[in-house]
Chains A and B, each alone.
Chain A
Amino acid sequence: MKTIEVKKPSGYATQIGPAHPALKEPVMFTLDIEGERIRRVDFVPGMAHRGIEWMGMRRNCIQVMYLAERICGICGITHAISFVRAVEQIAQIQVPNRAHYIRSIVGELERIHSHLLWAGVAAHELGFDSAFYLAWRVRENVMDLLEYLTGNRVHYAIIQIGGVRRDIVPDQFPRIEESMKFFENAYAQLAAVFLDDTTVRMRCRDCGVLTTDEARELCPVGPTARASGIKKDVRIDHPYAAYADIEMEYQTPDLLTGEVRGDVYDRIVTRLLEVKQSIGIVRQLLAMLPDGPLLAIPKPAVLLAKLKGAAGEAVGRHEAPRGEVMHFVRLEAGKDEPVAWKVKASSYSNYLSWIPMMEGEQIADIPIIAASIDPCISCTDRVALVRPDSRRILTKEELHRLSVEKTRRIQAALAKRENP
């Protein structure tokens, strides 16, 4: 059995962070370098740990739901839906079917916005800023749609224990369809920009490889796992919400390219395929939207009394844009607060994959590899404390410059080859 060796770095060690090389969130990498090659990787998360679980075990379930929603700004619905699903199972609250459908529709719109945000960040890390502007401009459409449907661009506040807060009415369907058409066109445009571009291909193909076996043992989730050929998707494996009523396919890169290589390029392919899949799911769910109430227990006081009497333990899960999010909740009768609450964010499972991905690669590849798992640090860390360090620190700007220079070098070599 393979064990993960993490030793103190020897020889030439360089540190990146806590300012993050790829995202504007803090995590610290320590790299053992030989020339330009990375020999060994170590990372220290925790710079954004806010002790949310500790806070949650001192609040009642309705308050925890709002707290859970604020774990992450990108996955605004993910943590709320996972937490309420755990509580509903303990208290045996049957959520109306219409609410299940609305939860899933908002969940898919969130996936579209998150994947487009990621596509922009990835393009920026490669020095491909025109694609970054394109992806983020396209993303504004889904943000507007989310605001139109829920009232908020982030933290939609649509999930409630036992249902949802707002309805989606037939008058709103044309506006949703309009956005879906917009995204179909945008998908074709983005696929051409990202997948057919020679520079993107040269930077991302066979870079940051995670093999299928490594993926099985290190247990990553979401697009990171699927890009390595692991067919794992909570929406398909574990029937919940409206996903239980539809047939879906695992989005692995071979659907488009015919092979699975588990590199950065495959992770781009997987996320783009998922944007397309989400468009289909939203349309399908809107067509199937059942009638009925939105909430099982509309009165908060009645709900709180019921939750105070509930006892037991359950797990609530949701396929976030980055992969499986899981909340474990244990309630005791007579207590308002959950006696146990464990939040497992998707990046929590994906961190370990950085080690096999980065080892053997070049320093200039760090930003794109780090970004390729779409890390969400605030989700995973949940007291900010930064210590000054005397060792050499590569800043985000420096790293970004290195990455851009590598792209330019490749482009120059390419131009030379084509026009000798």
Chain B
Amino acid sequence: MNLLSPPQIAEVLQAAAGAGFVSARCTEWAEGVKGRKSKQVWLKIARESLIPTLQRLVAIHYPHISVIACADVGAQVELMYHFHVYWGIPHEEVLVTLTVALDKADLKVPTITGIIPGALTSEREKQEMLGIEVVDIPDGRRLFLPEDFPAGVYPWRKDETGIPPDMIKDLWATGRENLKFEDNPPPPAPNPANPVNPV
């Protein structure tokens, strides 16, 4: 197999993303005595470019999907699709991350299970944890959250749809409901003669 270098992969995927391309960067990280490097390609693309870019990636090497990671960044929710290509070739694997930002007003993303069926677990998890809608997902049920989990609460969101304070159970309060947090004894005062944690 003719292997493409990480910058070449970025270039090919940029062409496939077309007008939806936002940015690309390549990173390396070496560990061990010999200094062999692991390689990463990070691409930011628009939602519309996700499927064509992924199809181009499949043409390079059938990717293994690790997971779809996510971050709530205020007005948007970012999805990071982590793929690996060139697995099975010692020390040559490249991590390709496709980042897609979705506006909170329109949290829809096409499913990629038509290309990689193994992405289903991750897509179902993103729907329940982030409140996004994966269009055409073959199985849209909840995965980890119970069926009676309140609707409209998305644990990984950092806005008003996140976990409300009344859903958080403080372990320290269990069995001592009449005790307030302020009633706890104060932490021990630092004793210069006997430092607990010398720094």
Contact = CB atoms under 8 A, between A and B. Distances in A.
A3 to B, nearest CB: 5
B144 A45 contact: yes
Contact of A299 (B30, B138, B156, B199): B199
Contacts of B69: 328, 340, 342, 344
Interface of B is mostly: loop
A37 to B, nearest CB: 23
A236 B118 contact: no
Interface stretch (A152-160, A180-188, A346-354): A346-354
B120 A4 contact: yes
A290 interface: yes
Interface in A325-371: 326, 328, 330, 339-340, 342, 344, 348-349, 351-352
Given A3-B138, A299-B199, A352-B118, A290 B33 contact: yes
B40 A315 contact: yes
Given A328-B67, A348-B121, A46 B145 contact: yes
Interface stretch (A117-125, A129-137, A241-249, A260-268): A241-249
Contacts of B163: 54
B87 A232 contact: yes
Contact of B156 (A54, A216, A351): A54
B78 to A, nearest CB: 8
B82 A328 contact: yes
Interface string B55-85: 0000000101111011111000000101010
Interface string A70-81: 000000000000
A245 B139 CA distance: 43
B88 interface: yes
Contacts of A248: 90
A420 to B, nearest CB: 48
Contacts of A288: 33
B156 A53 contact: yes
B121 A2 contact: no
Nearest to A380: B144
Interface residues of B, number: 59
B37 A239 contact: yes
Contacts of A139: none
Interface in B121-142: 121-122, 138-139, 141-142
Nearest to A98: B33
A314 B97 CA distance: 10
With most chain A CB atoms within 10 A of its CB, the pick from B29, B138, B148 is B29
Contacts of A3: 113-114, 117, 138
Interface string B98-114: 00000000000000011
Interface in B1-55: 27, 29-38, 40, 42
Contacts of B146: 46, 383, 385, 387
Interface in A284-336: 288, 290, 299-301, 313-315, 317, 324, 326, 328, 330
B71 A324 contact: no
A-B interface, 5 closest residue pairs, ranked by CB to CB distance from nearest: A219-B118, A244-B32, A340-B71, A46-B144, A237-B93
25 contacts: A1-B115, A4-B120, A6-B141, A46-B144, A49-B145, A95-B31, A97-B32, A238-B38, A238-B93, A242-B32, A244-B30, A244-B31, A244-B34, A244-B91, A290-B33, A300-B199, A313-B42, A313-B80, A326-B66, A326-B82, A344-B66, A348-B122, A351-B121, A352-B117, A385-B148
Interface of B: 27, 29-38, 40, 42, 62, 64-67, 69-73, 80, 82, 84, 86-93, 95, 97, 113-122, 138-139, 141-146, 148, 155-156, 163, 199
Interface of A: 1-6, 44-46, 49, 51, 53-54, 89, 95, 97, 100, 216-221, 230-232, 236-245, 247-248, 250, 288, 290, 299-301, 313-315, 317, 324, 326, 328, 330, 339-340, 342, 344, 348-349, 351-352, 381-383, 385, 387
Given A1-B114, A244-B36, A250-B88, 13 more contacts: A1-B115, A3-B138, A4-B120, A46-B146, A89-B29, A97-B32, A217-B118, A237-B87, A243-B32, A244-B91, A245-B36, A342-B69, A342-B80
